[in-house]
A and B are shown apart, each in its own frame.
Chain A
Amino acid sequence: MTTKQKMIEIIKAENPTLQIGDDDSGYTQLSAAEYEATIVQWAEARLAKEAVAIEAETRATAKAALLTQLGITAEQAKLLLS
């Protein structure tokens, strides 16, 4: 799993600057403090999503291993549970 600091570095590399605004009123670059705060928020969000994906993958691997151990397919397992 990626560390928070590594994720921050990745996101900073993707976004050397950040801006807000719109086509009508124009765009403004975030201040250094706002930039840092936003990058940290984004890093935490990506790490949370990564953790969910890893958990799902771990669960799928465990299920597959259990099915192999039982010697049945996923469809047969569904039939047993129905």
Chain B
Amino acid sequence: MTKARDLANGATALSAVSATELAYLDGVTSAVQTQIDGKQAVNAAVSTTELGYLDGVTSAIQTQLDAKTAKSTLTTTGDIYYASAANTPARLGIGSTNQVLKVTGGVPVWATASSGALTLIQRSSFSNVAGTTTTFDGVFTSTYKTYFVNIETVYGGTGADDLQLQLIYSGTTQAANYYTANFYANYSASAMSFMGENNTSQIPLTSHVGDSADGTAGQLYFNLVGNSSQRALINGNFMNSNAISQQTMAAVAYQARTYTGFLLKSASSNITGTVAVYGLATS
């Protein structure tokens, strides 16, 4: 048939075209090359899926990209974006450990966190010691005007012993010139007892330190310590579960010194306890 058609058309050059191939022309209504030229060239590097990403684009893509903030604005781990002015993204570098974000001049800045009204300076536990000696030396400095000492618990080897305090300065224990007023009452008392202590070698905090079953808790305030050579003022309250007692004391270390700390001891036995020292902020 091919030969016949070739012969019929007198076109021997078409002998390489099969009938099937010729049949592809069926339905063609205009010049094939013209139609091909009218089509978009396919870029082999762009897939159909990628072309599909353009679906929904409503304006110039480059213009939209230019309006975005560059990731390269953030150069360091922890950096954050903020607006330094309207429509002006800027970088805020990460702050230091424990800093907090606050606002200064209308923009965010990293700043040292406020420590609050009370700052824990030291909390220490001790067991069966003849005294706390240097454990609480160095807690009074010029950083604060007032120090709060929370005696969370303390007890002695002899429950009926006195709990005593001495101040420390320049590595030396102040062992004279204490004056103390002490008021005491227990649950069964009908009146308070008063104990005045003049020019003693230590400050009596409570007359019943208690034992391991019935310890003592108390709070002390220190003023005029740590800043300059002054007569230290100490006042506080103590309670004991054995005597179910309340004791209030106020004392002065009459010898002016720059006191840097204190020690606790019992009058005649070991003591065990936990004590925390705090500084009170002035602003």
Contacts and interface: CB of A to CB of B under 8 A. Distances in A.
B162 A23 contact: no
Chain B at the A interface: SS class: loop
Contacts of B126: 21-23
B142 interface: no
A32 B131 CA distance: 16
Interface stretch (B38-46, B59-67, B96-104, B266-274): B266-274
Contacts of B135: 21-22, 25
Contacts, number: 52
A58 interface: no
A30 B131 CA distance: 11
Q: Which has the most chain B C-beta neighbours within 10 Å: A14, A18, A21?
A: A21
A14 B157 contact: yes
Nearest to B132: A22
Interface in A31-64: 38, 41-43, 45-46, 49
19 contacts: A11-B268, A14-B157, A15-B157, A15-B270, A18-B270, A19-B129, A19-B130, A20-B131, A20-B132, A21-B126, A21-B135, A22-B125, A22-B132, A23-B124, A24-B124, A25-B135, A41-B268, A43-B268, A49-B267
Contacts of B270: 15, 18
A40 B241 CA distance: 29
A14 B267 CA distance: 15
**Interface residue tally on B, bucketed by range:** 20 to 34
B128 interface: yes
Contact of A42 (B132, B133, B267): B267
Contacts of A15: 157, 269-270
**Interface residue tally on A, bucketed by range:** 20 to 34
A3 B133 CA distance: 29
Contact of A45 (B125, B128, B268): B268
Interface string A60-80: 000000000000000000000
B127 interface: yes
Given A22-B135, A24-B124, A25-B135, A42 B129 contact: no
Contacts of A45: 161-162, 267-268
Given A14-B157, A22-B135, A25-B135, A42 B128 contact: no
Interface of A: 11, 14-15, 18-25, 27, 30, 38, 41-43, 45-46, 49
Given A18-B270, A42-B267, A49-B267, A23 B127 contact: yes
A19 B128 contact: yes
Nearest to B133: A20
B153 to A, nearest CB: 14
A38 B270 CA distance: 11
Interface string B240-274: 00000000000000000000000000011110000
Contacts of B157: 14-15
Contact of A23 (B125, B158, B267, B268): B125
By Cβ-Cβ distance, the 5 closest A-B pairs, closest first, are A42-B268, A45-B267, A45-B268, A22-B126, A18-B130
Given A21-B126, A23-B125, A42 B131 contact: no
A54 B131 CA distance: 28
Contacts of A11: 268
Contacts of A18: 130, 270
Contacts of A42: 267-269
